Structure formats: structure tokens, C-alpha cells
Amino acid sequence: MLDDVARFDMAKPPKRQLLRPLIWLLTFPEVLSHKSKIKKINMEGIKPPYLLLGNHNAFLDFKVATKAIFPHRTNYVIAIDGFIKREWILRRIGGICKRKFTNDIVLIKHLKTVVNRGDIAIIYPEARYSLCGTNSEIFPSVAKLAKYLDVPLVTLICHGHHVNSPFWDSKSNRKVKGIEAEMTCLFNKEEIEKASVEEIHKKLSESFIYDDFKWQKENKIHINYKDRAEGLHKVLYKCPHCLKENKMESFGATLRCKECNKEWTMNELGELEAKEGEVYFSHIPDWYDWERECVKKGIEEGKYYFEDEVRVDSLPNAKGYINLGKGKLIHDMQGFRLFGKYKGKKYEVELEAKGTYSVHIEYNYLFKYGDCVDLNTLNDTLYVYPQGDDFSVTKISLATEELYKYLNK
């Protein structure tokens, strides 16, 4: 499949960051417009090189990170779709390309190069925007990386970025004021040398606990954006009243089940209120966690299965997408299997559930073809768009994570 197409050159060494005045010019105005506050903890005497790990809710994360490390140089790990049509400029501002959720030895060498020359390496270890403003699991491999790089380990945990521009409605900017971040040195160089991988992982996992909707309520951040619930049904796909899946819809400030007509209103503090009867979940992340438990139960009973006809686009390099036509996607207890035919030749891509700890999804990707699942190998990224209307890529994402946990007990 696409044997005659050049792949992105992942082995090309990362460039030292240039164009810093331009980066600051493009970054600081928006950070200032949100009245961003950065609290620095245990950062006295901490200078580059160091490894900075941030939580990931919106593109604003990169801009706040730029302010937090000012005026030092950095290299960012960026997904390959960020390089489309702009590889030249991204390499010069310090971008390092990565295909999501792949075990990439070359990336580790690049990061070592960055810190060895005295700069900051920035990684978003959750590897995707949070679906509902809460944290994902941090795996021990991140702690192993921190130990290997042998430089101070710093975290940057931001609050307010999800409620300002939620992943399920990323086209909007709710202009939230007073966003916050804590920049914390978890281990200085001497401490990272002495600490075990287990100790690093434990402390790192504890630091990566956040909840944007809880933060919004505690700080009384009122968001009067009239379409504040628009797109929320992409995450909250299962009705807790009638238990039907993929019948939810959202518009304005309303979330509604088309099957049983149960309605909720999202108030200005980000809470859900039932129009009539029981609310079930007023806190959005609680609804999402309930959906995860439902998926987990189905997996434990051996009942999880998804199959659909799909549109398939390939992204072998930064030049753009190549349409591979139609195919069939199966996701079950064994993992992902994608079948298709391109230019008369059949192809099959398989990702085993036991080795796939997460998967990246998109809602209404590029505002063109709808929701999709990204399947990544070391030399290709496949954007797979189910063609039916009775599916949820959120459920596929949850199932991927729960299958991995279940099969690796």
C-alpha cells in the first residue's frame, strides 16, 4: 500500500529553535487576552536543559508553555498532521514529528539530542486533547524516558483550556478569563538520578490529575456562550435514562436524547440540569466515567464488537492526505483490523488490542468527512471514517483503553 510514496523523514535530527521573536509575537497576545496566571513551584535554580511534561486540552497549551519557559529555547513533540503543508516552518520553530501511540525509538534519540545541547524538551504524554477536560493515564514508559534523559523533570498543568475551547467544539473560543497553570519541578537533576522509575511514575501520575469542569465551578467561571453544549453529545453518547447509545444530540445549551426525549441544560458553570426528572450526572466527567464503566463491563463479558464500512485516508508524509477509498473496519476483543483495496491491490492493517494502549479520535475532522479513528504504524497514519450513523468514536476510544488494561492484567 502506497509503496511508491515517500514517508515523512522521522530520522532527520531536530533543529535548534529559531524565529523566537516571531513565536512570542504570535503567542503572547492570546495568552494575555485570557489573563493567564502561571504559578511556579520548586522552580528556583531550575534552568535548561530539562524535560517538561504538560497536560493537553487545546492549542492554547502550547502558547501558555511558551510563556512559562520564556525566554528559553525548546523543541516540541507534534503529531504528523500538524506538519501538513508547513513542515519547513515547524521544523525551524523546534517541532519534532511523532505518529500517535507508537513506540518510536528515533523520538527518544531526538529528545536526548535536545537536552544534550542545553534546551527544553516539551512532551504532552497524554498524546491527545482530553475528551472532557480530565486526565488520561500516564504510563511507566514516560517515567523511563525521564530517567534516561537525566535532566530535571518539570510539569505544566493548565486549567481552563478545555472549558474555553472543548475538544468536542474546538472551533469555538469562549474567551475565558483567568486561566491558570502550575509549573512544578518534580525532580531536579540530583533527585532524578537517585529516584527509581517506580518513584518517578508515582509522583508523575499524582501530578497529572486535573478536572477542568471542577476548576470552573470552584472558581465560579461563568460562560454565557449561547452554544456552550454544541457538540457535547460526541462525548456523552449514551443516555443514562433509557440506556440507548448514539441517540444523543446537542444544540445551543441543550443536550437531548432522541430516543426517550430526556433533556438536559448546560448552565453557565458547566453543570448539567435536567429539564424534568432525575439529572443522573450533573458533572460532565462523571457521565463520561459511567460510559467507560459500561464499556469495561461489556469487555469483561466478552461482548464488545464494532464493524462498519469506512472511508480511509492515508497521511504518509506532510504533503497531505491520500484517499484510499472504502474499506471495512472491525474492532473487537482482538483489536483493530482494517481491510481495503487500493489501485486493485488488497491491504490489511492489524493492531493487536494487547499492544494498543490508546487510540486517537477526531470529531468532525477537518469539518469534511465526520468523526474518525486514527490508526498509526511507524510509517503511516490512517484516518478511518465510519460511514454509518449508529456508532461512537468515543466508545471506540474507551474500548481501546479498557481492552488494553483487561488483556494486560
What tens digit of pLDDT does each residue of 372-409 get? 999 999 899 999 999 988 999 999 999 999 999 999 98
- Under 8 Å between Cβ of 264 and 236: no
| pLDDT reported for residue 324 | 96
| pLDDT reported for residue 32 | 96
Q: What is the CATH number of the domain that holds 92?
A: 3.40.1130.10
Same domain, 284 and 314: no
Q: Residue 4 — very low, low, confident or very high, per pLDDT cuts 50/70/90?
A: confident
Q: Residue 189 — very low, low, confident or very high, per pLDDT cuts 50/70/90?
A: very high
| pLDDT reported for residue 74 | 97
Cα separation, 323 vs 96, whole angstroms? 25
* Helix axis angle, 105-116 to 140-149, nearest 10°: 40
Burial of 301 from C-beta contacts in 10 A (0-12 / 13-18 / 19+): exposed
Cell digits of residue 68 = 512559562
E strand or H helix that includes residue 140: helix 140-149
Kindly tell me if the per-residue pLDDT of 325 is higher than 80. Answer: yes
Cα separation, 302 vs 305, whole angstroms? 9
In a domain, 189, yes or no: yes
203-229 pLDDT, tens digit per residue, is 999 999 999 999 999 999 999 999 999
| pLDDT reported for residue 103 | 85
Same domain, 159 and 84: yes
Q: What is the mean pLDDT of residues 22-37?
A: 95
Same domain, 257 and 382: no
Q: Residue 194 — very low, low, confident or very high, per pLDDT cuts 50/70/90?
A: very high
Helix (H, G, I), strand (E, B) or coil at 66: helix
- Under 8 Å between Cβ of 262 and 256: yes
Instruction: Answer with the one of 252, 283, 299 that is the final residue of a domain.
Output: 299
CA gyration radius, the chain? 21
Helix (H, G, I), strand (E, B) or coil at 87: helix
Q: In what side-by-side order are the strands of the sheet with 322-332? A: 345-352, 335-342, 322-332, 305-314, 381-386, 372-376, 360-362
Instruction: Answer with the one of 255, 271, 299 that is the final residue of a domain.
Output: 299
Of 53-62, 95-104, 268-277, minimum mean pLDDT range: 95-104
Cα separation, 169 vs 163, whole angstroms? 10
Q: 158 or 104: whose pLDDT is higher? A: 158
In a domain, 84, yes or no: yes
Instruction: Answer with the one of 280, 299, 318 that is the final residue of a domain.
Output: 299
Tell me how many domains the chain contains: 3
Kindly tell me if the per-residue pLDDT of 145 is higher than 80. Answer: yes
| pLDDT reported for residue 3 | 78
| pLDDT reported for residue 276 | 96
Same domain, 154 and 197: yes
Q: Residue 250 — very low, low, confident or very high, per pLDDT cuts 50/70/90?
A: very high
| pLDDT reported for residue 171 | 79
Q: What is the pTM of this model?
A: 0.95
Same domain, 397 and 378: yes
Same domain, 201 and 290: no
Kindly tell me if the per-residue pLDDT of 170 is higher than 80. Answer: no
Kindly tell me if the per-residue pLDDT of 357 is higher than 90. Answer: yes
In a domain, 12, yes or no: no
Phi, psi of 154 (to 5 degrees): -125, 140
Q: What is the mean pLDDT of residues 4-29?
A: 94
52-79 pLDDT, tens digit per residue, is 999 999 999 999 999 999 999 999 999 9
Q: What is the 3-state secondary structure (H, E, C) of 167-179?
A: HHHCCCCCCCCCC
Q: Residue 172 — very low, low, confident or very high, per pLDDT cuts 50/70/90?
A: confident
% the chain with pLDDT above 70: 100
% the chain with pLDDT above 90: 94
In a domain, 225, yes or no: no
E strand or H helix that includes residue 326: strand 322-332
In a domain, 4, yes or no: no
Task: Provide the residue range defining the domain that includes 401.
Answer: 304-407
Cα separation, 308 vs 277, whole angstroms? 36
Q: 300 or 378: whose pLDDT is higher? A: 300
| pLDDT reported for residue 367 | 78
Place of cell 502550575: 182
In a domain, 309, yes or no: yes
* Helix axis angle, 284-300 to 393-407, nearest 10°: 50
Q: Residue 273 — very low, low, confident or very high, per pLDDT cuts 50/70/90?
A: very high
In a domain, 11, yes or no: no
In a domain, 7, yes or no: no
Same domain, 136 and 199: yes
Q: Which amino acid is at 6?
A: A
Single out the residue of 126, 104, 120, 107 nearest to residue 58, CA to CA: 126
Cα separation, 1 vs 7, whole angstroms? 12
Q: Residue 366 — very low, low, confident or very high, per pLDDT cuts 50/70/90?
A: confident
Same domain, 51 and 132: yes
Burial 318-332 (b: 16+ CB within 10 A, else e): beebbebeebebebb
Cα separation, 287 vs 245, whole angstroms? 13
Q: Residue 173 — very low, low, confident or very high, per pLDDT cuts 50/70/90?
A: confident
Same domain, 240 and 202: no
Same domain, 244 and 195: no
